[in-house]
Chain A
Amino acid sequence: DSGVTQTPKHLITATGQRVTLRCSPRSGDLSVYWYQQSLDQGLQFLIQYYNGEERAKGNILERFSAQQFPDLHSELNLSSLELGDSALYFCASSDISAPYNEQFFGPGTRLTVL
């Protein structure tokens, strides 16, 4: 168990809808990352938050947004969903002081858009 929790485990929704994925980092970790994993693209970095502030942005679509709250949990909001958004979404957390930045991953949320 990595100590990172994600809810829900599975989400099935329809095109055009909006969903929110939730992540709680490991105790003491200030940095949270969101990734999308699909069969054809692999693990793609979306966005990083550090202590409530956006720190780095990757291949995140404009329809997607995230935030990190004062208690350090994070939410990833996906709107105007398309079939191609079906994927596994992982949250990871880290102690950013480690130079190689070991990331601890949650179990993921499997999103299916019908």
Chain B
Amino acid sequence: QKEVEQDPGPLSVPEGAIVSLNCTYSNSAFQYFMWYRQYSRKGPELLMYTYSSGNKEDGRFTAQVDKSSKYISLFIRDSQPSDSATYLCAMSASGGSYIPTFGRGTSLIVHP
């Protein structure tokens, strides 16, 4: 079993839909949870991060962490075609060099 599991998709939704992207993990030492967005032929870029459990909102994006279930989510409201990309979850433990462990990424397609 991989430390971080993420459904690769693709997930295809119409413009304006609410998108839910999820990851599960097995390492209870993870404290920092991140979502990266990767457009085609580009490197990943950090979208959001949260520390420990709880929610964090940034515009149309909301990140949720449920440490008791070892489950994290990214919600995208009013999705746009420009949101079409691969979304990678990443997580790291506190202390040490904070090297994140990445999920495989979920490919999201928002069609007009």
Contact = CB atoms under 8 A, between A and B. Distances in A.
Interface stretch (B45-53, B58-66, B76-84): B45-53
B104 A101 contact: no
Contact of B49 (A45, A58, A100): A100
Interface string A36-61: 00000111110010000001101000
Interface residues of B, number: 24
A100 B104 CA distance: 19
A43 B105 CA distance: 9
Contact of A2 (B6, B45, B100, B105): B45
B21 interface: no
A101 B51 CA distance: 12
**Contact size range, A:** 20 to 34
B99 A99 contact: no
Nearest to A38: B104
A99 B102 contact: no
Contacts of B92: 100-101
29 contacts: A2-B43, A2-B45, A41-B104, A42-B6, A42-B105, A43-B44, A43-B88, A45-B100, A45-B101, A55-B97, A56-B99, A58-B99, A90-B43, A90-B44, A96-B98, A99-B51, A100-B49, A100-B51, A101-B32, A101-B92, A101-B100, A102-B34, A102-B46, A102-B49, A103-B46, A104-B45, A105-B44, A107-B42, A108-B43
Interface of A: 2, 4, 33, 41-45, 48, 55-56, 58, 90, 92, 96, 99-108
Given A45-B102, A99-B32, A108-B42, 11 more contacts: A33-B99, A42-B6, A43-B88, A44-B102, A48-B99, A56-B99, A99-B94, A101-B32, A101-B97, A101-B100, A102-B49
